Structures are given as structure tokens and as C-alpha cells.
Amino acid sequence: MASKNIIAKGTTYNGVESVTFPTSPSGTATFFEVSDTTATASDVLNSKYFYTAAGVLTQGTGTAPSPTLITKNITQNGTYDAEDDDADGYSSVTVSVSGGGGSGLVYETGTWTPTTDISNPTISFQNAHTEAPVFVMISDATGSYDGTTNTCQSFVYGDWEKAFGTTINPSTSSSQYALFRGVYRAASATATSSTGTIFTSRTSAETYVNSSRFVPNIGSGYYWRTNRTYKWIAVWAPTT
């Protein structure tokens, strides 16, 4: 803010930036020295007002700048380095993306309606695969209530050894490859229960899931019912 040397009633006051006077019938009014204002109307948004260097109240005529959007395509299995597209005040970012494409995740889905009540069905995959899937799920998709007891509801299988190439090792002398979890209705028509197994060998895991089929056997005495419709999905790990 500018300042001036002013004379009031014969006394000089140096470096005065503003003066406050009493007003009638009460209150005060302050007057500022604004001769150092450099803004013009185009510098101020058109919804705002400012005082020019001459002390004139003026409405701005400027408009807000439109943001600039920087876009880049990031290719699958590729790397994008944004170093040449830095926004002011921000550092560059390197993004690596993998997956998708012909060598990414492969999956199969299906709908299965049993022709008879069965406890340990074998559901075959349509395509040929060299490895077992990393994930399998089958679930009742009929969409209506069924209170039949001793009935299978859902089966979920996950294989971390096939997914990541390593087992879980709960001790120095044991390994765990995969697991399944099953949901079933036992003797109650109003509640479900669950059970599961952690597989400690590849052989035991392939009893349930291998490269060509899966066997959603929740337990002896629990059945996938002939009057129900089940949907399933199997997913294989990326090959690269």
C-alpha cells in the first residue's frame, strides 16, 4: 500500500497509508492511499470490483482461465513416463501397467443345472489349459429361496501357488498351496454353515481343481440339487 506525508492542522505526518475519521451520528470511516494500484479491469474477474490508482471503484472484465487437460494413452504391458508433460509445480510420474491383452488373464464361465442330486460333481472346462486356474467359484444363481436341508450353496477355491509361484510356509517343514471354502445348508431351513480345507500338497489340491475340471465337493451328505441353477467362473493366472 502506498503512503503519503500529510499535513493536518499545521502538523506534518509522514508515511500515512490510511486515515480514519469519525462519522455522524456514530462510527468511523477509513480512507486508504491506493495510488500504487497497478491492476486494470482485465486483470480482475468480471464478478469482482476493485479501486484503481485514481481511487475509482471499477468492475473487472477478466475471465477465469480454462484448465489444460494433459492426456496420454498408457498401453497394456507398457510404461509411460510423463517427464515431458510436467504440470507446473508437480514432478513427473512413471506408471507401469501390465495385464490384459492376449497373454493376460484367461477365464471361463458356465451355467450348470444338475440332472440329479449330486454331492461331488465334475464340471469340465471348455478349453484346453496347461495349468490349474488360480480361482474358481460356483454358486446357486436360481434367485429364489430353497429351504431344502443338506444342500450346497456355494464353493470358492483360491490357489496362491499357481497365482504367485510360491507357497505359504507355516513352518520350516510344511507348505500350503491353496484352499477352498464351501457354504451349505445343513439341518436348518433358516441358516447356512461353512466349511473348508487348506491343501498342503499339489496332489490334494488337484483332487478338487486341475487344468481340465473342478469338483466342488463340499462334504459327504451335502448335495447340489436338480431343481436349482448354478453359475461358475474359473480364472487363470497371466502368462506374462
Q: pLDDT tens, 27-85?
A: 888 888 888 888 898 999 888 888 888 889 899 898 877 666 555 554 444 444 444 44
Q: Residue 94 pLDDT > 50, yes or no?
A: no
| pLDDT for 72 | 52
Please give the distance of CA 157 from its chain centroid, rounded to a whole number.
24
Calculate the alpha carbon distances from 222 to 58, 122, 207 in Å: 83, 15, 18
| Per-residue pLDDT at 33 | 83
d(CA 75, CA 97): 7
pLDDT the model gives residue 67:
63
pLDDT band of residue 103 (cuts 50, 70, 90) is low
Tally of CB atoms within 10 A around 69:
5
This prediction's pTM: 0.58
Give the residue among 154, 144, 212 at the shortest CA–CA distance from 180.
154
CA angle 151, 156, 161 (to 5 degrees): 150
As a whole-number percent, the residues of the chain with pLDDT over 70 amount to 83
CA pair distance 162, 211, nearest whole angstrom: 11
C-alpha cell at position 31: 480512507
* Start-end of H helices in 111-227: 160-164, 202-206
Under DSSP, the state recorded for 70 is: P
Whose CA is closest to 211, among 149, 127, 150, 115?
Answer: 127
* C-alpha cell read off for 168: 505359504
